[in-house]
A and B are shown apart, each in its own frame.
Chain A
């Protein structure tokens, strides 16, 4: 079996280049958040990321995010938002920054740390989802947790 070529030569859309992901992610970044929001995380350079998520029948139905306007970070988050829906949360939790870097060729080494922030923020929203599932609703305690990101 041969994987589909995702390069421009085969006119496959949507393309998963950083530039194309940024274009789509730029719009998603300004959209209203989905019902369950995760903690906002901040990296050493001051970039922030917060995901939101919708789950239907035990599967991730939609992913939103609100992140700093860094092109690399937006592209990383958009890749997650486009590829993870349809998976169960326990499967989605297995996504790593290494996976993300491998999936986004063309990101120079100095910018690859953005993938770590994106994945950490995505795991944070999955943690909020677990809390939501256990309590039936986001408790006040959970809301407090969401507003105070872990360092």
Chain B
């Protein structure tokens, strides 16, 4: 099964759900689903800023598995981090996300 994650809520989401659940499972190839994309809203985008330790692990796994990572463009502009993300990580809005996923569509989209 192919899934895409949308990180829409904040608080413990990236540091816990992503960094301590999803990411270790992906690194150990035991997540149970193919993650074709991850989209980040609001403060969750800070994980994509170049140099973030969780983001470094995430981008490494994403590159190995062909997972799309994308930050919300308005969220990144608002935080003035749009041009400081890891190399190759784009920003965009829903049209960009759907277009980027169109070649590898998920079966389920899970909002976290």
Contacts and interface: CB of A to CB of B under 8 A. Distances in A.
B85 A108 contact: yes
Contacts of A18: 77, 82
B80 A71 contact: no
Contact of B77 (A22, A45, A46): A22
Interface residues of B, number: 12
Nearest to A21: B77
Contacts of A105: 83
A107 B83 contact: yes
Nearest to B88: A110
B90 A108 contact: yes
Interface in B43-84: 73-74, 77-78, 80, 82-83
A108 B83 contact: yes
A139 interface: no
A22 B77 CA distance: 9
A19 B90 contact: no
A43 B58 CA distance: 33
B93 interface: yes
Nearest to A105: B83
B91 A111 contact: yes
Contacts of B80: 17, 19, 106
B83 A71 contact: no
B5 to A, nearest CB: 22
A70 interface: yes
A125 to B, nearest CB: 25
A128 interface: no
Contacts of B73: 70-72, 111
B82 A106 contact: yes
A84 B93 CA distance: 28
A11 to B, nearest CB: 16
From B82, B90, B91, B93, residue with most partner A Cβ within 10 Å: B82
Given A17-B77, A18-B77, A70 B82 contact: no
B97 to A, nearest CB: 13
Contact of A19 (B77, B93, B95): B77
A117 to B, nearest CB: 15
Nearest to A74: B74
A106 B90 CA distance: 13
A71 B95 CA distance: 12
Interface of B: 73-74, 77-78, 80, 82-83, 85, 90-91, 93, 95
